[in-house]
Structure 1
Amino acid sequence: MTQVPLTNNDLSLPATGNVAAQNNTQVGFLGRMSISQKLMLSSLLFGIPLIAVGGMLSNNYLQSAQLARQQALYTAPYQNLEPLQLALRTMRGYKANEVPKDALATALKQSDELLASVQKTGSKDAVGLAQQIQADTKSLVGKIGSNSVSADDILKLTGDILYTKMQPLFGSLADKGQLAATPSAQGRQLAQVSSDTLPTLLPKIGGAFGGLIVTFDDISSKQKGVITPVQKAQIEDQLNRANELISQVDAQTQKLFATDDNLKANLQPLYKTALDDTLKAFAVAKEGSLGSGKVTVSTNKLIEVSDKYLASQYKAFGATVDKLNATFAAQEQQANQRFYTLLAILAGLTILLLLLLRGIIASITRPLKFLTQASQALSTGNFNIKVPVTTQDELGQLSSSFNNAAAQLRANAERNEQESIESKRLQNNIGEFLDVTMDIAEGDLTKRGKVTEDVLGNVVDSINLMTEELAHTLKSVQHASASVTDGSKAMLGTTQQIQEGATMTAAEAQRVTAQMAQITEQIRLMSENAQASADTARRALLASQQGQEAVTGTLEGMQNIRREVQGVAKRIKNLGDRSLEIQEIVDTISQIARQTNLLALNASIEAAGAGEAGGRFSIVADEVRKLADTSSQATGRIAGLIKNVQAEIQDVIISVEDGTREVEQGYRVAGSAGERLREIGALTQQSAELAENIASSTQHQVDGIEEVGGTVQQIASIAQRSQDSVEQGRDAAERLEKLAQDLNASLSRFRLPA
């Protein structure tokens, strides 16, 4: 395909004033964004609802996991409450000197561990109850150790701890830990049984049996085993009350078993064993008292069956607490799994959307890239281009229109090139014809002009015919001077034909002149448009350079932000290290307080054993123990505050690290934008230089066409003068008759054909 210059008829361009107005229009925010950025912004707007829904679901799952952790934290003291309750119930029915030593040691150990476990929850009410339980337990152990309490007193003191202090602690932990808020029916029922049913009913059952032991021992020692009617009524009342409590426990546990078959399979055998052992214990008490009206069962036997049913009861109680903790752990794990699964789904959807968006952007930017490259090639004068049409959307239609426009420009270029060739050929023919006419003017009538197919062909043919006739006439005049009159008439006819040919020559020359003027005007407009394109390219180059400077400034600012954020992260981490050191110091103080408390307790026990001599030392030991308790409480609060500070510091570190990563990502994106701006600047520079070259070449063509127009104008002037000369020749022919003699002398200089 031949490349030709682009004319104003081939492509409509806006007027110069409109171009200036467009260049002065301010570009909005969206106008400064690329197509890829606009598509990304649209995808982000459409993705906000998805992100919001994912955030809400993630928050729900995190809250569920947090609730499960909180519930597990508040049920942890149950691991100490259950053996402590068992130890206290084991003491009931015994005299002070007969209470098992392992029960006393278990009570002290579990009361200390209970307080430490409750302090981890941070609940002030629960901590207060745990401290009171610890103090009462130690006081009870001290009194039992000093043998200063009776079996009745032990029954009352343990009952006070079990009902007044321990039972509210179960309820406080259940309320503060929101155990009833667990989503599963199994978890709610387990929480009900572990925090209310068993802690409330089991001590009451034990209290009834402990009362029977005390009553039987009193009857055996004071009444020789004979039961009075009042005592019989009391025993029957205690037995009935115990049966009612056992039925309540059985009803509540049956509700628990109904929630889950697996739970039923694991716990029901334990509860059945505990129920059977309890019923057997009360059956032994009933048969040993009401059967004969006398106490026929020994206290040791009652204590033996009591220990058996207590062990089975608290084995079932402990298994229930374990199931409750396992339920909370499973709920936390399930919530975490759902959270991570949701994160994986959201990540997968995000990746899928990004891939889809990437494909959409590629389907839009690829045709635009082809169009841009083709436009740049077209601006350089390369009309042999064709944009591949790969879609049927607006871009495909635009590509088809561009191909049609390029084809039209190519056809116009070929047509203009053909006209240029014909113009040059006409100019060459005119030059050759002028040489021939000069020879003819010098008298060589043997010369003939070359007859061509263009507009000059008729003129040349006429001149050739005129020359031929003139030569023939002159030859005839030479050979027949006698027939001058006839020759002059023939010459007049020939002159008429020459006049008509000259007229036609002048008309054709004028038409050619008009066409050359039109071509010159079109090329001049094309030159002006090329110059305007060069100006636009220079302005685009300036804008790209300014954008590159702005991006460079942005990169420097982001680099400073990155350094500052890294410094803040380092300082916050140092602060977290210092808080860990403080935590170690607080732990050391807490251990010292516990040791001091234990020493004070031992001192109180020793002072109590020393009698009056150790009374004042006991007062000092109590003050030391109170001071140790206060120190332990203060260190507990300090430890809680430090943990909160550490958690907040860890959150700040994570946020700072996220911010650092965001700054790094922004820095890389800004750097990539700067590279793209530099590439655009280089391409714009090349475009401006090419537009300048087009404008210069077009101006040279205008100058050449104007020279051709001047030449054609000269041809028209020559034709007009030829017409005047022919008219003068006609006048001369009329006078030829008179000048025949002179003509023969003049014709002697002409060279005539043979």
Structure 2
Amino acid sequence: MNSNQNQTRVEAERAASTKLAPLQQVRKFVRKNLVATITATIGGSLLLTGASTWNIWNIYNGFQSTVTKQVELQKNSGQSLYIGQILSYSVKLSATTGDPKWEALYRKSEPELDRIIKQVMADVPPAISAEASKTDEVNQKLIAIETEVFKLVRQGKKAEAMQLLFGAEYSRLDQIYYSGTAKVLEKIDLSIKQQLQDYQRQLLLAMTISGVTLPILIGIWILVLSAVRDYIRDRQIAQAELQQSQASLSSLNAALQTESAVREQQEAMVRLASEQLQQDIGDLLDVVCEIESGDFTVQAQVNDRATGLVGDTLNRLIEELGRTLRQVAETAYRVDANSKTQKEMAATVAQSTSKQAEEIQQMLQLTRNVRQSAQNNMEQLNVTNRSLVTLKSSVAEGQGTISSLDRDINILQAGSDRIVQEVKTLGEFVGLADRFVLDQSEIVTQTQILALNASLVAARAAEQRDPKLFAAVAREFESIATQVSQLAQQTNEGLTNLEQRSTQIHKVVSSVDADVQRLGGLVTTFTQGVKQASDVFETVQSVTERAVESGDRVSTASQRIVGAADSTSIAIESISSLSQQITDRSQDAQKLGDRLNILSTELLENIQVFKLPEVLPVGTNSSDFPESAALEVAV
């Protein structure tokens, strides 16, 4: 009944939890994880409080140290200005009066100024340190000039000291020193203001964080306290329910006492059965001890109790174990024999692999020789191809020369034809000359006849009455006849010479004609020879081109042979490495056979410990099992 009430209440709480507001869900989560929530709240509160306290304390310490440091810087900077004025006035008064007490005051104040400047440079930030270093350098230069002034004053050279002291260099350095010191003070003030602003921002941030976290902590603590109050109320309700449960348990206790008496009777019966069971278990344990000692011939007792079923199962297990061990012994002997055979086979394989490796090395060397021969052939083919290319170019040049010679022969043939034509023209001219000679011969004959007639006329005229006139006419005709006769003689002589020359020209023209005809025959023969040579060159060119193509194909084939030789070499090397791996595996197989032989021997020695039944397992051939092994196992 209580369980039903609890289940109903749990279901009601589950139904109500789906309708709770977010705040109520948070309160429920806090009540469910109250201890963890209280621990987290206390830890978070302590953490936030500690962080805020540490932050404020850190800001306070930083602010205090910064203010102290900056005040010290301002104080030191002011002292540096004050001591600098003292040093400046001491130098000027010493140069003016020559009193040594001013130099003593200067020497007394100078170390203090150096100490203050070094302290300022050590305390200032890096941004101000550069300006302070420049000011210190200017100060050192001023000190050097002032030391020189004191030296001149001690030597009694006041005028030179005053001139050096009131010179432009000293005034410039003094102005730089004071302006640099003023800049340092200004930067220090600016740094102080910036740091104060930073601390103000940090303090404001810390106060803001504290102001934000305080309401959160208050809300969390309100939730925690509310959860604690609800927890106390639930504890009171649970205590009332517990008291009610105790009353119910008292009634249940009485019922349990009655049931316990019944259980005691049942325990007595169980005790008797347990004693019998312990006895049976003792027998079974004895059988198990015999089995542990290696005796597989023992048999457990079988009865009608539960232990009888266990004994029967144990007997079958003993039989199966005996059969299994006999099979293991048989297998061990077979493994021993097979391991020896495998060892011998591995040795044979190793020897064969070694021979194969040697043959592979020989094949590899032969492949390398083939590759070298192919490379040599390829190089020779390259040389042959280059020679063929040269021959091809020479043939092309020869063809060009033959073409040029053919053109020249054509020109010569045309010239020969023109010579033949000119010879024919010359022959015709000689024929005309012959006809001219004949005509001139007739003219000479007619002239001679005319001269003769003139002589006759002159003779008849001489016979006329007027002898003087006719004598003159006769003399004139006689002179004319004489001249005509002389001219006829000269013409006859010229014609004779012309006839002789015409005869010579006939002979020359005949010989030239014969020579031209022979030259034409030679030109024709040479032309045929040139054509034959051109045909031969074309044949040589085609043969050369085919030879070049064949050389290229042979070179390609040689390259393929080289590639095939390389591939064969790589394959043979792979085979060699594979043979080496086979050799290694054979050696490993030999080692494995040795180990297997050792393991089989150890297994046989271990099996000899057991005492097995003499009956062979079902399906086992006795001929496959060594007789000695059977005897050893049966012992």
Question: Fold match, TM over 0.5?
Answer: no
Query: Which has the greater radius of gyration?
Result: 2
The TM-score bracket by the shorter chain reads: 0.3 to 0.5
Normalized against structure 2, the TM-score is what? 0.37
- Higher helix content, 1 or 2: 2
Normalized against structure 1, the TM-score is what? 0.32
